[in-house]
Amino acid sequence: MNFASLKKQILSYNPSGDLNLIQKAYDFANEAHSGQHRVSGELFIFHPLGVAIILADLELDFTTIAAGLLHDVVEDTDYTISDIEKEFGSEIALLVDGVTKLGKLEFKTKEEQQAENFRKMFLAMAKDIRIILIKLADRLHNMRTLKYLPKEKQREKALETIEIFAPLAHRLGISKVKWELEDLAFRFLESDQYYQLVDKVAKKRQVREEHINSMIDVLKRHLRSSGINAEIQGRPKHFYSIYKKMNEQNKTFDQIYDLTAVRVIV
């Protein structure tokens, strides 16, 4: 993962975009975090860079991606929001300030109603929805590297993720972020069940892929005969979704038949 990866991702959906703002934000963050390392031992800049790549994967605007690169500068360096505003303007400063303030909130209960109140507080505090998007990308990248934290911290972060951040992603309609957050949290909260499920799903991979392709072929024929032009996407259901269904319906893995999903985009 490097800056070239970020540029490539951005240009894949905005080939004529001016990357000067992104370059400036990256250079500023790289200098601000110079000498800092994460718990994993890697350079700190890889975290904001990872966050920016997630935002680019969501095809967000350059201002949001630049704020993603800068989101930890105020919290973890001597720079202030005034410094950010002076260099990048009030809009990016607002986003960075919002992410910084949300980062100070602490979730300390497992009660479902309290989790819902916490999610509402998150949304209320964010003056711009892009603040939530950056925070979700921040949490997703942190979850991808959670294994480097102590076990107790892993569980704490995983619980926050499944109670707060995955439902927020769902509420905003960002399915692929929700799915990955849930699967990552599941891996740390119920490790044995997670890896057992991964193994069982892997053994049925070929059958599952054949089933998806068959469904897509049938749907394409029916839509074509009706004069409907549509894009059809097939995907396996993510692990946490399967695990939840097994628990809620009190079924074994072999009793769960809908391991795939198909999306039709007209």
Which sequence positions are flagged as catalytic? 75-76
SS3 149: coil
What region, left, alpha or beta, does residue 161 occupy, with left being phi > 0 and alpha being psi -120 to 50 degrees? alpha
Nearest to 7 by CA among 56, 73, 63: 56
Six token digits for residue 224: 């074509």
Q: Where are the alpha helices (DSSP H) in 58-111?
A: 62-70, 73-76, 81-88, 90-102
Cα–Cα dist 81/72, whole Å: 11
> Residue written as tokens 């986003």?
95
- Give exposure, 58-81, as e/b (b: 16+ Cβ within 10 Å): bebebbbbbbbbbbbbbeebebee
Number of CB atoms found within 10 A of residue 23's CB: 15
